[in-house]
Chain A
Amino acid sequence: MSDPQLPPEILDYTIDLLHDEPETLKQCCLVSKSWVPRTRIHLFADIEFHSASDLESWKKTFPDVTNSPARHTHTLFVGCSQSVVAADAEEGGWIRAFSEVKRLNLDNGDQYLKFSVASLIPFHGFSPALKSLRISPIFIPFPEVFDLIFSFPLLEDLALKGHDESWLGDDPDGPQAIVPSTSPAFTGSLDFHIFGGAGSAARQLLDLPNGLHFRKLALSCDRVQDIWWITEFLTRCSHTLESLDIHTLRRTSICTWSALIT
């Protein structure tokens, strides 16, 4: 069915109202070919690749990278970065088809041991519009993680969860990523849950030339040595801070807190 009398802006408006009703949107695609482009904008806004089979299914459905609906994706979840990187290598820049992504969640769950440095490189700057980045869990050296972070100039929100595998402990003078001359804006939220020594990772953020302007801070610490960077984050963001969430885990023992406060 086609309705040539319906003004396109009315059609667009109507479909936009259905943005959070995927089943209805799928039905809309069957109504008329002219309805498909607008529905695609919403149907492919949020894409999740949990496994290699999800990825294969996408590639089979959309073999032509340049004409795939990847450009409509605003929120991308990748739970199988190794497979995505392999696809990217095979097809010469497959990840860059997702060039309008605003929120990226790299979560490797129990596959974290396969989450290597190489699995981050193809993601570098793949979407210049990226505003929110979540990486979890991190079991790779922080300089490489921050190379990725710094490749997104418009980044506002950052969430890092994991364990310091750079073996730098709390050495803030250890190897660092190359800090860009203009750092991301960082005006949103910081979720920082790094265990086993977060000093070097914290230093990377604290040394940014444009400073930190987070409105929300959610910080976890499991060692008394973490106190310095929590204090620093609070100080640096004090002029913008609206929401604070501090989580002390049990390894920051009763004795250590007691010793510091008494």
Chain B
Amino acid sequence: MFPVELESASFDLSKATKLRDTVFRLGSLRVEWINVALKTITPDHRDLRQISIYLPSFLTSFRVGVDIRRSIGQATSRGWSDLDHLLVQFWESCSVRPRIGCEKEGEQYRRSTEYCIGSLLPEITKRGIVDPV
């Protein structure tokens, strides 16, 4: 049953070669569907300038210092590692700097959002190739 549904669930952007910007707004911590969509972007997408990801707002309730990776479980964590790797590739291949943040605005959320980004996407954070949304 799942392979058939998986096929229909895959967001295929391979033919959308005029794509300039994409925004993914997460309602949960699973990012596999974003990874599937990003993997369909090819060198033919010459106009791509922006990839933005909005973290689910409940993430801001994580306290700074909490081991988020451990809290979210291995499978979910693996999805974020894949996303981290993909975003590095986008930076290296077409200089696209990802913009990542949270829908919630305000100073009180800024620190926890930054902490979550650093925990979930360590490589792009380390390289300094992520901008806030």
CA distance A206 to B9 in the complex (A): 18
A238-249, CB under 8 A of B: which get 1 and which 0? 111111111111
Q: Is the CB of B18 within 8 A of A240?
A: yes
Q: Is the CB of B13 within 8 A of A234?
A: yes
Asked if A252 meets B27 with Cβ closer than 8 Å, knowing A257-B33, A258-B75, the reply is yes
CB of B32 to closest CB in A, whole Å: 4
Q: Does B64 contact A (CB under 8 A)?
A: no
CA distance A230 to B22 in the complex (A): 14
CB of B36 to closest CB in A, whole Å: 7
B1-42, CB under 8 A of A: which get 1 and which 0? 010011011111101101111111111111011001000000
Q: Is the CB of A234 within 8 A of B25?
A: no
Q: Does B47 contact A (CB under 8 A)?
A: yes
The range of chain A's interface size is 20 to 34
What residues of B have a CB within 8 angstroms of the CB of A246 in the complex? Answer: 11, 23-25
Q: Is the CB of B33 within 8 A of A261?
A: yes
User: How many B residues face the partner with a CB closer than 8 A?
Assistant: 31
What residues of A have a CB within 8 angstroms of the CB of B20 in the complex? Answer: 242-243
Residue from the list B10, B22, B28, B32 in contact with A253, Cβ < 8 A: B28
Asked if A231 meets B27 with Cβ closer than 8 Å, knowing A239-B15, A241-B18, the reply is no
Q: Is the CB of A260 within 8 A of B28?
A: no
Q: Does B56 contact A (CB under 8 A)?
A: yes
Q: Is the CB of A231 within 8 A of B75?
A: no
Q: Is the CB of A227 within 8 A of B2?
A: no
What residues of A have a CB within 8 angstroms of the CB of B2 in the complex? Answer: 259-260, 262
What residues of B have a CB within 8 angstroms of the CB of A260 in the complex? Answer: 2, 5-6, 9, 33
What residues of B have a CB within 8 angstroms of the CB of A32 in the complex? Answer: none
CB of B93 to closest CB in A, whole Å: 19
CA distance A246 to B47 in the complex (A): 19
What residues of A have a CB within 8 angstroms of the CB of B22 in the complex? Answer: 243-245
Q: Is the CB of A238 within 8 A of B32?
A: no
Q: Does A228 contact B (CB under 8 A)?
A: yes
Q: Does A60 contact B (CB under 8 A)?
A: no
Q: Is the CB of B26 within 8 A of A238?
A: no
Q: Does A251 contact B (CB under 8 A)?
A: yes
User: Most chain-B CB neighbours within 10 Å: which of A231, A240, A253?
Assistant: A231
Q: Is the CB of B28 within 8 A of A250?
A: yes
Residue from the list A227, A239, A248 in contact with B28, Cβ < 8 A: A248
Q: Is the CB of A257 within 8 A of B11?
A: no
Q: Is the CB of B27 within 8 A of A249?
A: yes
CB of A31 to closest CB in B, whole Å: 44
What residue in chain A is nearest B14 (Cβ atoms)? A238
What residue in chain A is nearest B47 (Cβ atoms)? A242
CB of A152 to closest CB in B, whole Å: 26
What residue in chain B is nearest A261 (Cβ atoms)? B32
Q: Is the CB of B27 within 8 A of A251?
A: yes
Contact residues, A205-262 vs B (CB, 8 A) = 215, 218, 222, 227-228, 230-231, 234-235, 237-254, 257-262
Apart from A234-B11, A239-B15, 18 more pairs, CB < 8 Å? A231-B8, A231-B11, A235-B15, A238-B13, A241-B16, A241-B19, A242-B19, A242-B21, A244-B22, A245-B23, A247-B25, A250-B56, A254-B76, A258-B30, A258-B32, A262-B2, A262-B32, A262-B75
The 6 A-B residue pairs whose C-beta atoms are closest, nearest first, are A261-B32, A238-B15, A247-B25, A245-B23, A248-B27, A260-B9
